[in-house]
Amino acid sequence: MRFQSNAVSAQLTPTSVMKVLFESIKIGIIKSNLIAMIAGLSMAMFVHGIPLSDKIGNMALALIGTVFVIGAAGIFNNLYDRDIDTIMERTKNRPTVTGIIDVWSGLFIGGWLAVGGLIALYTASPLSAFLGFLGLFIYVVPYTIWTKRRTIYNTEVGSLSGAMPPLIGWAAISPDILHPGAIALFVLMVIWQMPHFYAIGIRRMEEYRAANIAMLPVVKGIRRTYVQMNTYLVALFMSSFLFWSFNPYITVVNAILSLGWLILSINGYRRKQQDKWARSMFIFSLNHITVLLVIIVGYSIGAPLF
Protein backbone atom coordinates (compact mmCIF):
# COMPACT_ATOMS: atom_id res chain seq x y z
CA MET A 1 0.00 0.00 0.00
CA ARG A 2 1.46 3.38 -0.97
CA PHE A 3 0.98 6.51 1.12
CA GLN A 4 1.01 10.23 0.44
CA SER A 5 4.06 10.98 2.52
CA ASN A 6 6.42 9.63 5.15
CA ALA A 7 4.51 11.64 7.76
CA VAL A 8 1.23 9.97 6.84
CA SER A 9 2.91 6.57 6.72
CA ALA A 10 4.41 7.05 10.16
CA GLN A 11 1.02 7.83 11.64
CA LEU A 12 -0.55 4.61 10.40
CA THR A 13 -0.75 1.85 12.99
CA PRO A 14 -2.07 -1.66 12.29
CA THR A 15 -5.44 -0.48 13.64
CA SER A 16 -5.52 2.58 11.40
CA VAL A 17 -4.46 0.49 8.39
CA MET A 18 -7.46 -1.77 8.99
CA LYS A 19 -9.66 1.31 9.31
CA VAL A 20 -8.38 2.62 5.97
CA LEU A 21 -8.99 -0.77 4.35
CA PHE A 22 -12.51 -1.04 5.76
CA GLU A 23 -13.36 2.45 4.51
CA SER A 24 -12.04 1.57 1.06
CA ILE A 25 -14.01 -1.66 0.69
CA LYS A 26 -17.17 -0.09 2.21
CA ILE A 27 -17.47 -2.38 5.22
CA GLY A 28 -20.95 -1.04 6.06
CA ILE A 29 -22.30 -2.19 2.70
CA ILE A 30 -20.61 -5.56 3.17
CA LYS A 31 -22.30 -6.10 6.54
CA SER A 32 -25.76 -5.28 5.23
CA ASN A 33 -25.33 -7.53 2.20
CA LEU A 34 -24.11 -10.42 4.34
CA ILE A 35 -27.49 -10.57 6.07
CA ALA A 36 -29.16 -10.97 2.67
CA MET A 37 -26.64 -13.65 1.63
CA ILE A 38 -27.21 -15.58 4.87
CA ALA A 39 -30.97 -15.30 4.33
CA GLY A 40 -30.65 -16.93 0.92
CA LEU A 41 -28.33 -19.62 2.26
CA SER A 42 -30.45 -20.52 5.29
CA MET A 43 -33.69 -20.39 3.31
CA ALA A 44 -32.28 -22.83 0.75
CA MET A 45 -31.26 -25.25 3.52
CA PHE A 46 -34.74 -25.09 5.03
CA VAL A 47 -36.54 -25.54 1.70
CA HIS A 48 -34.42 -28.58 0.80
CA GLY A 49 -34.36 -30.06 4.30
CA ILE A 50 -30.57 -29.87 4.60
CA PRO A 51 -29.18 -29.95 8.16
CA LEU A 52 -26.98 -27.02 9.15
CA SER A 53 -24.07 -29.32 9.96
CA ASP A 54 -23.99 -30.73 6.41
CA LYS A 55 -23.02 -27.44 4.77
CA ILE A 56 -20.58 -25.81 7.20
CA GLY A 57 -17.86 -25.70 4.54
CA ASN A 58 -20.14 -24.16 1.92
CA MET A 59 -21.39 -21.61 4.42
CA ALA A 60 -17.87 -20.52 5.35
CA LEU A 61 -16.79 -20.29 1.70
CA ALA A 62 -19.91 -18.34 0.76
CA LEU A 63 -19.30 -15.95 3.65
CA ILE A 64 -15.64 -15.35 2.76
CA GLY A 65 -16.32 -15.15 -0.96
CA THR A 66 -19.18 -12.69 -0.56
CA VAL A 67 -17.14 -10.41 1.73
CA PHE A 68 -14.22 -10.37 -0.72
CA VAL A 69 -16.28 -9.83 -3.87
CA ILE A 70 -18.36 -7.02 -2.38
CA GLY A 71 -15.18 -5.49 -0.97
CA ALA A 72 -13.60 -5.58 -4.43
CA ALA A 73 -16.66 -3.90 -5.94
CA GLY A 74 -16.48 -1.20 -3.27
CA ILE A 75 -12.84 -0.35 -3.83
CA PHE A 76 -13.20 -0.36 -7.64
CA ASN A 77 -16.15 2.01 -7.26
CA ASN A 78 -14.14 4.28 -4.98
CA LEU A 79 -11.23 4.39 -7.40
CA TYR A 80 -13.41 5.32 -10.36
CA ASP A 81 -15.38 7.93 -8.41
CA ARG A 82 -12.40 9.80 -6.95
CA ASP A 83 -13.19 12.96 -8.92
CA ILE A 84 -16.78 13.25 -7.70
CA ASP A 85 -16.02 11.96 -4.20
CA THR A 86 -13.89 15.03 -3.59
CA ILE A 87 -17.01 17.18 -4.03
CA MET A 88 -19.38 15.30 -1.73
CA GLU A 89 -19.18 15.86 2.02
CA ARG A 90 -19.77 12.22 2.98
CA THR A 91 -17.11 10.88 0.61
CA LYS A 92 -14.40 13.53 0.49
CA ASN A 93 -12.31 11.82 3.18
CA ARG A 94 -12.24 8.39 1.60
CA PRO A 95 -8.69 6.96 1.46
CA THR A 96 -8.91 6.82 -2.33
CA VAL A 97 -9.66 10.56 -2.36
CA THR A 98 -7.05 11.67 0.16
CA GLY A 99 -4.40 9.56 -1.56
CA ILE A 100 -3.70 7.25 1.37
CA ILE A 101 -4.55 4.50 -1.10
CA ASP A 102 -3.35 5.32 -4.60
CA VAL A 103 -4.74 3.92 -7.84
CA TRP A 104 -2.29 1.05 -8.25
CA SER A 105 -2.55 -0.02 -4.63
CA GLY A 106 -6.34 0.07 -4.89
CA LEU A 107 -6.33 -1.97 -8.07
CA PHE A 108 -3.95 -4.47 -6.47
CA ILE A 109 -6.12 -4.86 -3.36
CA GLY A 110 -9.37 -4.95 -5.33
CA GLY A 111 -7.97 -7.41 -7.85
CA TRP A 112 -6.83 -9.86 -5.21
CA LEU A 113 -10.09 -9.53 -3.30
CA ALA A 114 -12.04 -10.25 -6.48
CA VAL A 115 -9.92 -13.27 -7.40
CA GLY A 116 -9.87 -14.65 -3.87
CA GLY A 117 -13.59 -14.12 -3.45
CA LEU A 118 -14.49 -15.79 -6.73
CA ILE A 119 -12.25 -18.76 -5.96
CA ALA A 120 -13.93 -19.19 -2.58
CA LEU A 121 -17.38 -18.96 -4.16
CA TYR A 122 -16.40 -21.38 -6.93
CA THR A 123 -15.24 -23.89 -4.33
CA ALA A 124 -18.65 -23.61 -2.67
CA SER A 125 -20.50 -23.75 -5.99
CA PRO A 126 -19.64 -22.71 -9.56
CA LEU A 127 -23.05 -21.05 -9.77
CA SER A 128 -22.26 -18.95 -6.70
CA ALA A 129 -19.05 -17.82 -8.38
CA PHE A 130 -20.91 -16.88 -11.55
CA LEU A 131 -23.48 -14.88 -9.57
CA GLY A 132 -20.69 -13.23 -7.59
CA PHE A 133 -18.91 -12.24 -10.78
CA LEU A 134 -22.19 -11.00 -12.27
CA GLY A 135 -22.87 -8.82 -9.23
CA LEU A 136 -19.32 -7.44 -9.31
CA PHE A 137 -19.48 -6.72 -13.03
CA ILE A 138 -22.89 -5.00 -12.88
CA TYR A 139 -21.79 -2.80 -9.99
CA VAL A 140 -18.51 -1.73 -11.56
CA VAL A 141 -19.34 -1.45 -15.27
CA PRO A 142 -23.08 -0.90 -16.00
CA TYR A 143 -23.63 1.00 -12.73
CA THR A 144 -20.44 2.85 -11.76
CA ILE A 145 -18.99 3.50 -15.20
CA TRP A 146 -22.03 3.67 -17.52
CA THR A 147 -25.15 4.83 -15.71
CA LYS A 148 -24.36 6.47 -12.35
CA ARG A 149 -23.50 9.83 -13.90
CA ARG A 150 -25.68 9.62 -17.01
CA THR A 151 -29.21 8.46 -16.26
CA ILE A 152 -31.85 8.54 -13.54
CA TYR A 153 -32.13 4.78 -13.96
CA ASN A 154 -28.75 4.27 -12.34
CA THR A 155 -30.53 3.15 -9.16
CA GLU A 156 -32.42 0.44 -11.02
CA VAL A 157 -29.20 -0.82 -12.59
CA GLY A 158 -27.36 -0.80 -9.27
CA SER A 159 -30.20 -2.65 -7.57
CA LEU A 160 -29.56 -5.70 -9.76
CA SER A 161 -26.09 -5.99 -8.29
CA GLY A 162 -27.40 -5.37 -4.78
CA ALA A 163 -29.89 -8.22 -5.16
CA MET A 164 -27.24 -10.85 -5.94
CA PRO A 165 -26.15 -11.74 -2.36
CA PRO A 166 -29.23 -13.86 -1.48
CA LEU A 167 -28.85 -15.73 -4.78
CA ILE A 168 -25.16 -16.30 -4.04
CA GLY A 169 -26.09 -17.77 -0.67
CA TRP A 170 -28.85 -19.90 -2.16
CA ALA A 171 -26.59 -21.20 -4.95
CA ALA A 172 -23.97 -22.23 -2.38
CA ILE A 173 -26.54 -24.73 -1.09
CA SER A 174 -28.61 -25.58 -4.15
CA PRO A 175 -28.45 -24.80 -7.89
CA ASP A 176 -32.21 -24.19 -8.26
CA ILE A 177 -32.12 -20.40 -8.04
CA LEU A 178 -35.41 -20.29 -9.96
CA HIS A 179 -37.14 -21.73 -6.90
CA PRO A 180 -40.01 -19.43 -5.76
CA GLY A 181 -38.16 -18.74 -2.51
CA ALA A 182 -35.02 -17.57 -4.28
CA ILE A 183 -37.06 -15.44 -6.68
CA ALA A 184 -38.94 -13.90 -3.74
CA LEU A 185 -35.67 -12.85 -2.08
CA PHE A 186 -34.26 -11.44 -5.32
CA VAL A 187 -37.41 -9.44 -6.07
CA LEU A 188 -37.55 -8.19 -2.48
CA MET A 189 -33.97 -6.91 -2.65
CA VAL A 190 -34.41 -5.25 -6.05
CA ILE A 191 -37.57 -3.37 -5.08
CA TRP A 192 -36.47 -2.48 -1.52
CA GLN A 193 -33.36 -0.69 -2.77
CA MET A 194 -35.33 1.82 -4.82
CA PRO A 195 -37.07 3.80 -2.01
CA HIS A 196 -34.01 3.25 0.18
CA PHE A 197 -31.65 4.95 -2.26
CA TYR A 198 -34.21 7.57 -3.28
CA ALA A 199 -34.27 8.61 0.39
CA ILE A 200 -30.49 8.92 0.35
CA GLY A 201 -30.71 10.85 -2.92
CA ILE A 202 -33.08 13.39 -1.38
CA ARG A 203 -31.01 13.79 1.79
CA ARG A 204 -27.83 14.34 -0.23
CA MET A 205 -29.46 16.04 -3.20
CA GLU A 206 -27.30 19.16 -3.22
CA GLU A 207 -24.13 17.09 -2.97
CA TYR A 208 -25.25 14.92 -5.88
CA ARG A 209 -26.17 18.04 -7.83
CA ALA A 210 -22.73 19.56 -7.23
CA ALA A 211 -21.08 16.33 -8.35
CA ASN A 212 -23.35 16.20 -11.43
CA ILE A 213 -24.69 12.73 -10.60
CA ALA A 214 -27.99 11.94 -12.30
CA MET A 215 -29.96 10.93 -9.22
CA LEU A 216 -33.73 11.05 -9.69
CA PRO A 217 -34.42 13.94 -7.24
CA VAL A 218 -31.64 15.99 -8.84
CA VAL A 219 -32.90 15.54 -12.40
CA LYS A 220 -36.67 15.23 -11.94
CA GLY A 221 -37.30 16.87 -8.58
CA ILE A 222 -38.75 15.82 -5.23
CA ARG A 223 -42.35 15.40 -6.37
CA ARG A 224 -41.43 12.91 -9.10
CA THR A 225 -39.19 11.05 -6.66
CA TYR A 226 -42.02 10.90 -4.12
CA VAL A 227 -44.44 9.43 -6.68
CA GLN A 228 -41.88 6.91 -7.92
CA MET A 229 -40.92 5.99 -4.38
CA ASN A 230 -44.53 5.23 -3.50
CA THR A 231 -44.93 3.19 -6.67
CA TYR A 232 -42.06 0.98 -5.56
CA LEU A 233 -43.48 0.75 -2.05
CA VAL A 234 -46.74 -0.56 -3.49
CA ALA A 235 -44.70 -3.06 -5.51
CA LEU A 236 -42.84 -4.02 -2.33
CA PHE A 237 -46.16 -4.67 -0.60
CA MET A 238 -47.31 -6.84 -3.52
CA SER A 239 -44.03 -8.77 -3.50
CA SER A 240 -44.88 -10.01 -0.02
CA PHE A 241 -47.10 -12.68 -1.53
CA LEU A 242 -44.12 -14.28 -3.25
CA PHE A 243 -43.16 -15.60 0.20
CA TRP A 244 -46.52 -17.32 0.74
CA SER A 245 -45.32 -20.77 -0.30
CA PHE A 246 -42.32 -20.42 2.02
CA ASN A 247 -44.17 -19.14 5.07
CA PRO A 248 -47.44 -17.18 5.31
CA TYR A 249 -46.30 -15.39 8.46
CA ILE A 250 -43.29 -13.91 6.67
CA THR A 251 -45.67 -12.77 3.94
CA VAL A 252 -47.73 -10.96 6.57
CA VAL A 253 -44.66 -9.40 8.22
CA ASN A 254 -43.37 -8.06 4.91
CA ALA A 255 -46.82 -6.79 3.97
CA ILE A 256 -47.24 -4.96 7.29
CA LEU A 257 -43.76 -3.44 7.13
CA SER A 258 -44.23 -2.35 3.52
CA LEU A 259 -47.66 -0.87 4.22
CA GLY A 260 -46.27 0.97 7.23
CA TRP A 261 -43.47 2.36 5.08
CA LEU A 262 -45.98 3.56 2.48
CA ILE A 263 -48.11 5.27 5.15
CA LEU A 264 -44.99 6.90 6.59
CA SER A 265 -44.09 8.15 3.12
CA ILE A 266 -47.50 9.71 2.43
CA ASN A 267 -47.97 11.26 5.85
CA GLY A 268 -44.38 12.37 6.22
CA TYR A 269 -44.30 14.03 2.83
CA ARG A 270 -47.33 16.12 3.77
CA ARG A 271 -46.38 17.01 7.33
CA LYS A 272 -42.59 17.04 7.64
CA GLN A 273 -39.81 19.11 6.22
CA GLN A 274 -38.14 17.54 3.20
CA ASP A 275 -34.94 16.53 5.00
CA LYS A 276 -36.76 15.11 8.03
CA TRP A 277 -39.11 13.13 5.81
CA ALA A 278 -36.22 11.69 3.80
CA ARG A 279 -34.35 10.82 6.99
CA SER A 280 -37.35 9.00 8.43
CA MET A 281 -37.75 7.09 5.16
CA PHE A 282 -34.08 6.10 5.22
CA ILE A 283 -34.20 4.89 8.82
CA PHE A 284 -37.41 2.93 8.21
CA SER A 285 -35.85 1.27 5.16
CA LEU A 286 -32.97 -0.06 7.26
CA ASN A 287 -35.34 -1.35 9.94
CA HIS A 288 -37.63 -2.91 7.33
CA ILE A 289 -34.98 -5.01 5.61
CA THR A 290 -33.10 -5.91 8.80
CA VAL A 291 -36.21 -7.11 10.64
CA LEU A 292 -37.48 -9.08 7.66
CA LEU A 293 -34.19 -10.79 6.82
CA VAL A 294 -33.47 -11.65 10.46
CA ILE A 295 -36.92 -13.24 10.75
CA ILE A 296 -36.28 -15.24 7.55
CA VAL A 297 -32.93 -16.45 8.88
CA GLY A 298 -34.37 -17.20 12.32
CA TYR A 299 -37.30 -19.15 10.91
CA SER A 300 -35.18 -21.07 8.41
CA ILE A 301 -32.69 -22.17 11.08
CA GLY A 302 -35.09 -22.52 14.00
CA ALA A 303 -38.14 -24.19 12.44
CA PRO A 304 -36.45 -27.58 11.78
CA LEU A 305 -35.54 -27.79 15.46
CA PHE A 306 -39.19 -27.98 16.53
Q: Tell me the pLDDT tens digit for each residue of 29-79.
A: 888 899 999 999 999 999 999 998 899 999 999 999 999 999 999 999 999
Cα distance from N-terminal residue to C-terminal residue, the chain: 51
> What's the pLDDT tens digit per position in 85-143?
999 888 888 888 888 888 999 999 999 999 999 999 999 999 999 999 999 999 999 99
Measured CA to CA in angstroms, residue 34 lies from 68, 70, 113 at distances of 11, 9, 16
- Where residue 233 falls among pLDDT bands split at 50, 70, 90? very high
Q: Which of 8-12, 117-121, 301-305 has the lowest mean pLDDT?
A: 8-12
Q: What is the mean pLDDT of residues 182-186?
A: 97
Asked if residue 6 has pLDDT above 50, the reply is: no
Does 13 have pLDDT greater than 50? yes
Tally the C-alpha atoms within 13 A of residue 274's C-alpha that lie toward its C-beta: 14
Whether the per-residue pLDDT at 265 is higher than 60: the answer is yes
Asked if residue 238 lies in contact with residue 191, where contact means CB atoms within 8 angstroms, the answer is: no
Residue 141 C-alpha from the chain's centroid: 16
Tell me what the mean pLDDT of segment 281-288 comes to.
97
Question: pLDDT-derived band of residue 19, with 50, 70 and 90 as boundaries?
Answer: confident
* Residue in 185, 164, 247 with CA at minimum distance from that of residue 39: 185
**Cβ(251)–Cβ(240) under 8 Å?**
yes
